[in-house]
Amino acid sequence: MVLGSIYVVGGVLGFLGTGFGTITGFSTDTFLGFPVNVYHNIVHLGIGAFWLLGAFALTAAGNEGVNIAIGGVYLLAAVIGFLGYLPLLNIHAGNDVDNYLHLVTALLAIAFGSGLLRGFAGSRESATA
């Protein structure tokens, strides 16, 4: 739910940096230091909405599946972004801040989806009970 909210808000606020000018391709538009364009903002809105839908409308297992799926998409986006194949979304090749954001997002989503962090929450709850 938290990551979905962040991505929806980021997608909406991204339009402050881009307006509705350059829809796709490279531009000089940025939001909080991240290169964005209109299409990039729309993708963030869609991913964030999908994440929120999973958080509110699915079972815990379904939500884990959504996290794994989104994590896989963002892992793929990070890899092809590092290789320079995402100019459509204004993502530059190599050492671009957006590629690292996508990598961190992928790792967090996969960690939440696979249940790797479930043990930490359970041990804290049993310690306080």
Look at residue 128 and tell me if it is in a domain.
Answer: no
78 occurs within a structural domain: yes
The tally of domains found in the chain comes to 1
Domain extent at residue 60:
2-116
Residue ranges with strand state E in the chain? 30-31, 34-35
Amino acid residing at 65:
G
Within the chain, which residues score under 70 in pLDDT?
22-30, 90, 118-129
In a domain, residue 129? The reply is no
CA distance 26 to 109: 27
Tell me whether residue 121 is in a domain: no
Q: Is residue 123 part of a domain?
A: no
Global pTM? Answer: 0.76
Please state, in angstroms and rounded to a whole number, the distance separating the CA atoms of residues 21 and 9: 20
Q: Is the residue at 125 inside a domain?
A: no
- What pLDDT is attached to residue 122? 52
Give residue 52's pLDDT. Answer: 92
The reply to whether 124 falls in a domain is: no
**Contact status, residue 104 vs residue 74, Cβ threshold 8 Å:** no
Does residue 32 fall inside a structural domain? yes
